[in-house]
Every structure is written in structure tokens, then in C-alpha cells.
Structure 1
Amino acid sequence: MTATAVRPTGVLPPPRAAADDASPPSPRPGPSASRAVAYQRVLHQLVRRELRLLADLSAWAPADDQERIGALTRHAELISRVLLHHHTVERESVWPALLRAVPSARPVVEDWTRRCARIDHMLRDVATAARQWQVAGTTPARTAFATACRVLADAVEDQTADEERSLLPLVAAHLAAEDWAAIAASSRCRLSGPEQLLVLGLALEDSCAADRARLLEGLPWSVRTAWRVYGARRYRAAVVRLRGAPPAA
């Protein structure tokens, strides 16, 4: 089996509910809404951690080492794609479904829209700084990239904290089970097989035992097998190359 055997799916598999959460399909909020909240929190955690690490790692990287520059800027590009896709799914699918159930949430959603538009613009700033570092290979270019990552990390941390405080409780209480099931089934991010397994590893790294189990159980059989056979090993090697240390767990 090779990495190309992994079919692209959503950015992360929707975490399954615990066995005692199981219930028949219902138009009311239920286990699927809980999975939606778990998905959001796991992805937020992943992005926050990786942006912080990118800022720290690039600040100490040799300014003219093209191999190191490539590794860090490619990782920044992957995290940016994951976050942009996540915002698109929220903007086009999650929040419209929530507003159908809770029209009074519109001011909070509008605040999210404004803040995430700013974050999406900052992602472009990171991409520009990455290209400049790749071309120049100088200390000022490296510093500009590290600074852009750190400023973005601060903005994402503030925005996701507010989202988890104000919007995710509404999702848990009001998002219809069939709405989240439809969103999870239709949401696709164009990641290659290796990228998909890398993102899965990033998601699993800091997750609690329950979320780790739900993430793995929510995978298609082919992806779960790929992770067990070679994905976890390759993830560890990729993290060591990027960070100079193995994953936290």
C-alpha cells in the first residue's frame, strides 16, 4: 500500500459520538452536533499549535538554508490551506445552517465573518513573506516570515477562543443532526494522500484519548489502515524533520 491509496476526504474525519451517545436519525440537535463541536475544537487546536511552532522554528532557522526554508514555508502553506478551507465550510455551510435554527445569532456570525476575513488576508501576508524568504534567503526576510506567522497565530488564537465561547455552544444546542451530517459528507479539501495523513497526525497529537478514538473510528477503512501500516511512522519522521523533536504524544 502506498500513500496514493488514501482517497482525499474532508480536512479531518468527523469525530464519532461515544457509543452511549448513539441515537436514531433525528431533525433535532444530537450526537452529530456534538461531533461538529469536536471537529471545530480539534481543528482550532491544530492550527493554533502549528502557527506558533512555525513562528518559533523560523525565528531560529538559518536564514539562507534553502532546504530548511522550503520545509518551513511548505508547512505554512499546508496549514494555510487547511484554515482557508475550514473558514469556507463555516461561511458557506455551518453558519447558514445555524442561522436557520437561531436567527438571533446573526450579529455573532457577522462578527466572525469580519474577523475571519482579516485572518484570511493575513494568510496571504504569510504566503508573501514565505516567497520573499525563499527568494532572498536573508535574515530580514526570515524575520518577516516569522513575524507574520506570530501575528497570525495571535489573531487566530483570539478569534477561535471567541468562536468557541460564543458560537460553538449554539452549534451544540441547535445545529440539526442531518445538517452536520450533510456538511461532513460534502466538505472536501484537496489534500494529497501524504498531506491527509500528516494533517491527521497533527490532529491526533494533542487530542484527548476520547477524541483520538473518535477521530480514528470516523476514518474510512482505507485511511485507518494506511495510518496504522505506515502513516503514524511517517508522521513521526516528518515531525522530527520539521521540529527537530518527535511529536508530543
Structure 2
Amino acid sequence: MFHRFLRMVFRDAGSVVDAVADGDRRRTTLAVRHLRQIAHALESHHHGEDMFLWDDLERRSPACALHVGQMRAQHAEIEKHLTALGASVDAWRASARRREAIAVREQLDRLTAALDDHLGQEEIDILPVAATSFTPAEWGRLEHHGRRTVPPRWLFIQLGFMLESMPAAEQGAFLRALPAPARAAWRLVGRSSFRRHRARLFPARRTTT
């Protein structure tokens, strides 16, 4: 589920950049804030795997050690791409010029290609083994880490994008699995907050959540 979210937001991030006119500081600030948030989501996800997954998986399934090593190496490569993206985003934020936006777009393309390769391999080589090597409670450590690292101002926005990355038939079941206070908060203020944010990023699109 989280992989689908990551694929979607990084795939669409290029459109966020492309929609900003040269010299438009307000929309540059909005786009930069969004890029930093999705980069943080990816970093937090990888940090959780680094802490809670790789060492235990190597111990419990030694035959998976080669693939775990590849995952570690890919995390390191993606971290380099994220660092480069951060530098290009900072330069764009300072200038709000199209030249720096193009550099951000190019770095996004490199990061997205590396991320697609990584997620695809992880789903083939790691997740089937990990599914039989960890208990639900142990998987819960990753989920808890992920929730704990989401900045409060981004909670509804990330939830909205996660719902949008799901087939419509899955959205209702996902919402029903949330604690009742979270469902109520989403219904009362979260959904509308997300839709406003989504409309500012993609003024020509309609949201499905």
C-alpha cells in the first residue's frame, strides 16, 4: 500500500513542478513544500526498514542475505538522489526561476527511476520472504514508526494521497480500519483540507477521494 502511495506521489511530482510559472514565488513555495514532504515520507519509510527489517531478515532467512544487501545499497543510492533533490529544491525556492525548476525536474526523474526499480525488486525478492518471517506485531513496528514520523500538518494530506493511490473499492475498507476518532476527523475536516491542498497543486485535476 505504501509503495503505491510513493509511486504515485513521485510520479506526479513532475507535474507539480511543471505547473509553476517562471517567477511565481507563491506557487514555487507551495510546490517546494510538497516536494519536501514526499521526500520526508520516503526517507522515513526507508529509515523504518533499515531499523526494523534488514538485520532480522538476514538472521531469520540467511538465503535472503544477498537481496538484503542489494536493498541496503539501493537505499544508499536513493538517499544520494534525495540529497541532490534537496539541494536543487533549495536553489529553486531561492530563485523561483524556470532554470532551477528544470534542474529539480531532472533530479526528480532520476530519483523516480531509481525508486521504481527498488520498489519493484523489493516486492519480488523481499516481501514474500518477509511475510513469513515476521509476526503481525513485528510488522506493526514499521507501521508505528511510519505514523510517528508524519508531521501533524501533513497527516490529512498524506492520508488523502494514500487513499487516492488505492482502487476505489479499497478506500472504504481502509477508512473503516482506522480508529473512530481518525475517521471522524477525516470526515469533518481532513477530506476538505486535502481537497483544497490537492486543488492548489493540480488546479486542472479532480480528486477522487
TM-score (norm 2): 0.90
**Does residue 217 of the first structure (1) align with residue 180 of the second (2)?**
no
Bigger mean CA deviation after superposition, 69-78 or 212-221: 212-221
Preserved CA contact (<8 Å) 2:45 2:146? no
- Cα 1:143–1:185 change in 2 (3 A) is closer
Provide closer, same or farther for how the CA distance between residues 190 and 172 of structure 1 changes in structure 2, counting only shifts above 3 A.
closer
Q: Percent identity?
A: 24
How far apart in 1 are the matches of 2:53 and 2:187?
A: 31
The reply to whether residue 181 of structure 1 matches residue 140 of structure 2 is: yes
Distance of aligned partners of 1:73 and 1:180 in 2 relative to their CA distance in 1, 3 Å threshold: same
The alpha-carbon deviation at position 214 of structure 1 amounts to 4.3
Cα deviation per residue 1:68-87 (whole Å; 9 max; x = unaligned)? 11111100100011100000
1:158 to 1:93, Cα distance in 2 relative to 1, 3 A: same
Query: What secondary structure does 1:167 align onto?
Result: helix
Unmatched segments (≥5 aa) in structure 2? none
Letter in 2 for 1:178: A
3-state DSSP of counterpart to 1:44: helix
Q: Structure 1 residue 159: deviation in Å?
A: 0.9
Deviations 1:120-165 (A, max 9, x none): 1111111111110111222211100111112111111111011111
- The aligned residue for residue 113 of structure 2 is 154
Q: After TM superposition, give the deviation of residue 176 of structure 1 in Å.
A: 2.4
Decide which of 2, 9, 12 is 1:53's aligned counterpart. Answer: 12
Give distance in 1, aligned partners of 2:198 and 2:16. 12
Aligned residue number for residue 28 of structure 2: 69
The structure whose RCO (Cα within 8 Å, separation 6+) is larger is 1
Pairing partner for 2:81 from 116, 122, 130: 122
How far off its partner does 1:49 sit?
Answer: 1.4
Question: Could you tell me which residue of structure 2 aligns to residue 13 of structure 1?
Answer: none
Preserved contact between residue 8 and residue 165 of structure 2 (Cα < 8 Å): no
**Shift in Å at residue 178 of structure 1?**
3.1
Report the Cα distance in structure 2 between the residues aligned to 1:178 and 1:130, rounded to whole angstroms: 38
On the 8 A contact 1:123/1:152 being kept in 2, the answer is yes
Contact map agreement 1:82 1:189 (CA 8 A) in 2: no
Instruction: Classify 1:152/1:198 alpha carbon distance in 2 versus 1 (closer, same or farther; 3 Å).
Output: same
Decide whether aligned partners of structure 1 residues 153 and 64 sit closer, same or farther in structure 2, where only a CA change above 3 A counts.
same
Q: 1:202 to 1:89 in 2, by over 3 A?
A: same
- Structure 2 counterpart of 1:90: 49
TM-score when scaled to structure 1?
Answer: 0.77
Structure 1 unaligned residues grouped into runs of 5+: 1-41
Contact 1:119–1:152 (CA<8 Å) still a contact in 2?
yes
Q: Secondary structure at the match of 1:207?
A: coil
* Residues 1:144 and 1:93: Cα distance change in structure 2 (over 3 Å): same
Tell me which protein shows more helix as a share of its residues.
2
Secondary structure at the aligned position of 1:247 is classed as coil
Let me know the Cα RMSD of the aligned residues.
Answer: 1.9
Match of 2:125 among 138, 160, 166: 166
The whole-number CA distance in structure 1 between the counterparts of 2:57 and 2:167 is 27
The amino acid that maps onto 2:118 is: Q
Change (3 A) 1:92 1:219: same
